């Protein structure tokens, strides 16, 4: 009886082991090993870089320069208008004025009027002492001149007969003529005379000081 039970247990164990092996085989199938593993090497992309060409050809070519010429543009200066001086010099005739309106000269000087305008003009003294037309209907044109010598000192107003009138009306001007002034000179005789005139004053001053000192001394002696 004991052997029968032992045999039964052994059969049951073998059957259980067979069933478990079949179940494992179905749940975890068997895969054979691969013949060659996949490659593990890595090739990075190329790192070489070719920059674009750096040569640049401008489409603008500067004009050739002469030796000593600067590459920078030179500043352009506008010439300022030139005005005639108020003493001496001359007078410029423009449309329609005399520049300067008053000029001062010395006795015996010659004054010149230069026509720089487009309109016709005349230079006519209010008292008739000078006239560019010489009493005719002639006029000054652009580029022409008129000169007059002033032999006597005084004040001489003048005008343009076309665009002004006597008495400072419209286009007019004034010439002031000064008398001739000779440089002052002192002769040796004048210098000697001046010295003699000053000497008595100096002597009188010294004499007054001496007399004053004597009077003070006498007063002190009398007091003692």
pLDDT in tens, 49-85: 676 666 655 555 656 666 655 555 555 544 433 334 4
Backbone phi and psi for residue 149, each to the nearest 5 degrees, phi listed first: -95, 125
What is the rounded CA–CA span in Å between residue 120 and residue 117? Answer: 8
User: Which domains are assigned to the chain?
Assistant: 91-178 (2.60.40.420)
pLDDT in tens, 131-165: 998 878 889 999 999 999 999 999 999 999 999 99
Q: Per-residue b/e over 156-181, b at no fewer than 16 CB within 10 Å?
A: bbbbbbebbeeeeeebbbbbbbeeee
Residue holding tokens 């013949």? 35
At 5 the three-state DSSP class reads: helix
Structural tokens at position 205 = 């001053």
Structural tokens at position 50 = 């070719």
% residues pLDDT > 90 (the chain): 36
Burial class (CB in 10 A: 0-12, 13-18, 19+), 119: middle
Query: Where residue 30 falls among pLDDT bands split at 50, 70, 90?
Result: low
Question: Does residue 134 or residue 44 have the better pLDDT?
Answer: 134
C-alpha distances in angstroms, 3 versus 9, 10, 17, 153, 161? 10, 11, 21, 180, 173
Closest alpha carbon to 148 in 121, 125, 168, 181: 125
> Which helix (H) or strand (E) element contains residue 158?
strand 154-165
Number of C-beta neighbours around residue 185 at 10 A: 6
Whole-model pTM: value is 0.44
Number of C-beta neighbours around residue 220 at 10 A: 9
């Amino acid at each position: 009886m004991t052997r029968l039970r032992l045999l039964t247990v052994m059969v049951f164990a073998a059957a259980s082991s067979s069933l478990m092996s079949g179940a494992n085989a179905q749940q975890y199938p068997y895969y054979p090993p691969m013949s060659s593993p996949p490659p593990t090497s890595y090739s990075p992309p190329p790192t070489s870089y070719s920059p674009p060409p750096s040569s640049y050809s401008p489409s603008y070519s500067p004009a050739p320069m002469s030796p000593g010429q600067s590459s920078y543009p030179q500043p352009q200066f506008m010439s300022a208008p030139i005005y005639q001086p108020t003493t001496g010099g001359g007078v410029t005739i423009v449309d329609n004025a005399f520049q300067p309106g008053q000029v001062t000269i010395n006795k015996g000087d010659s004054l010149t009027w230069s026509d720089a305008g487009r309109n016709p003009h005349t230079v006519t003294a209010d008292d008739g002492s000078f006239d560019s037309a010489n009493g005719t209907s002639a006029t000054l044109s652009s580029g022409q001149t008129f000169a007059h010598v002033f032999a006597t000192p005084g004040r001489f107003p003048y005008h343009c007969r076309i665009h002004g009138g006597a008495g400072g009306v419209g286009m007019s001007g004034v010439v002031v003529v000064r008398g001739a002034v000779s440089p002052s000179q002192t002769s040796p005789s004048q210098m000697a005379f001046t010295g003699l005139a000053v000497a008595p004053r100096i002597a009188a001053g010294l004499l007054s000081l001496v007399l004053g000192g004597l009077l003070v001394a006498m007063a002190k002696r009398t007091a003692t």
